[in-house]
Amino acid sequence: MMGLHFSVFIELLSLLLLLSPLIVLATTDPSDVQALGVLFGSLNNAPQLTGWKSSGDPCGESWKGVSCEGSAVIAVQLPGVGLSGTLGYLLSDLLSLRTLDLSNNNIHDTIPYQLPPNLTYLNFASNNFSGNLPFSISTMASLTYLNASHNSLSQSIGDIFQNLQSLSELDVSFNNLAGNLPDSFSSLSNLSSLFLQNNQLTGPVNVLSNLDLTNLNIANNHFDGWIPQEFESIPNLMLGGNSFNSGPAPPPPPYMSPPSSGVHNHNHTGSSANPPHGQDSQASHQNHDNDKKKLAIGPIIGISLGSILVALCALLFFINFHKIFSRVKMKKSVILRILWDLFLLEQIKVLFSFQ
């Protein structure tokens, strides 16, 4: 009897051991499962997404294009598999996702605001996305690659690049993006490739002048102003099809050096070393204001120099008078009275000479 019970126990134990891999693997993070389920539905339950279900175990089963690390979904790579539909609303629940490649499909509607927050690689190129780049991209500090080229994006590019210090490749070419380049482009300190060609972008491109770029293509837009000198050092540069001013950058604005260096001590090294390269309205505005200040300061310096001269004269006068009158025994108050009268006379003369 004992022997029989024991063998049944062994039987059950080995069954459990056999099943255990399945039990262990069936632990895909529930929020990842739910997020992929919603994505599957938004992509019209596309049959080419083999293995996908509205729920299940993406890491345990083999869902096409899904990669995991432990129980976490870290990559969804589905380029060129003929997907249509939209991206749904739950991508932001894919907290461990680092790679999202849905390029070369026919997904439409706007790029959702809710993107996976920890992506390093995001490729939406060659779909039918409309609208704009969502502002949530501004919080994706780990992003190194962003490709949204060949879509129908429109409107102006938001000021979304302030915190994207990892971004090294940005491609939004072949869209209908319009407006001026936002200032935060200048914060993309690790950017080496920038593709903005074939959009409707306008204004100057000076915000790009301090980037350390290897590839820059801004061709076929409506950019204007002067081409920054710094662009000369970019190995692969494409500028054609814009409205840039031709010829050299204009000379620096006329500079009136003040007669006395101690009075007006602004630092002009920067502006005289780098003449404005374009119609950067802000920069030229500032230069204009500085010129106005310089012009106004001229007469002021003249007047103060005049006063100094008068004071010097008065001082010399006083010293001489003192010498002369010290011999003569005269009351100090009388000397001071004479000096004061002379000083007033001098001031009146100075005032009239300015009329």
Ligand X SMILES: *[C@@H]1O[C@H](CO)[C@@H](O)[C@H](O)[C@H]1NC(C)=O
Binding site for ligand X (CB under 6 A): 95-96, 103-104, 106, 108, 117-118, 125-126, 128, 130, 147, 149-150, 165-166, 168-169, 171, 190, 192-193, 195, 267, 269-270
Say how far apart CA 80 and CA 82 lie, in whole Å: 6
**Closest separation between CB of residue 88 and ligand X, Å?**
16
Give least dist CB 141 to ligand X, A.
Answer: 9
Nearer to ligand X, 154 or 192 (CB): 192
200 sits in which H/E element: strand 200-203
We find the least distance from the C-beta atom of residue 211 to ligand X, in angstroms, to be 12
The CB-of-132 to ligand X minimum distance in angstroms stands at 14
Distance in Å, CB of 191 to ligand X, minimum: 9
Minimum distance, C-beta of residue 97 to ligand X, in the bound complex (Å): 9
Select 144 or 284, whichever has its Cβ closest to ligand X. 144
Nearest to 279 by CA among 227, 242, 331, 335: 227
Q: Give the list of residues 6+ apart from residue 250 with CB closer than 8 angstroms, or none.
A: 226, 275, 276
Q: Strand 193-195 to strand 169-171: parallel, antiparallel, or no bridges (unpaired)? A: parallel
CB closer to ligand X out of 96 and 242? 96
Judged by beta carbon, residue 85 or residue 117, the one nearer ligand X is 117
The gap between the terminal CA atoms of the chain, to the nearest Å, is: 131
Which residues, in sequence order, are CB contacts of 231 under 8 Å at separation 6+?
208, 209, 216, 237, 239
Query: Which spans in the chain are helix H?
Result: 2-25, 30-42, 269-273, 281-327, 332-353
Smallest distance, ligand X to C-beta of residue 173, A = 8
- Nearer Cβ to ligand X, position 192 or 245? 192
Q: How far is the CB of 195 from ligand X (least distance, A)?
A: 6
CA–chain centroid gap for 223, Å, is 18
DSSP state of 70: T
Burial class (CB within 10 angstroms; exposed 0-12, middle 13-18, buried 19+) of 14:
exposed
| Residue closest to ligand X when measured from CB atoms | 270
C-beta of 85 vs 225, nearer to ligand X:
85
Nearest-angstrom CA–CA distance, 180 and 200: 9
Residue at 159: amino acid letter: D
Beta bridge partners of 42: none
- The answer to whether residues 59 and 28 touch, using CB atoms and an 8 Å cutoff, is yes
CA distance 27 to 33: 10
**Smallest distance from the beta carbon of 230 to ligand X, in angstroms?**
15
3-class state of residue 339 by DSSP: helix
Q: Nearer Cβ to ligand X, position 96 or 199?
A: 96
The residue (of 28 and 147) whose beta carbon lies closer to ligand X is 147
Looking at beta carbons only, is 7 or 128 nearer to ligand X? Answer: 128
What would the two tokens of residue 222 be?
Answer: 């409506």
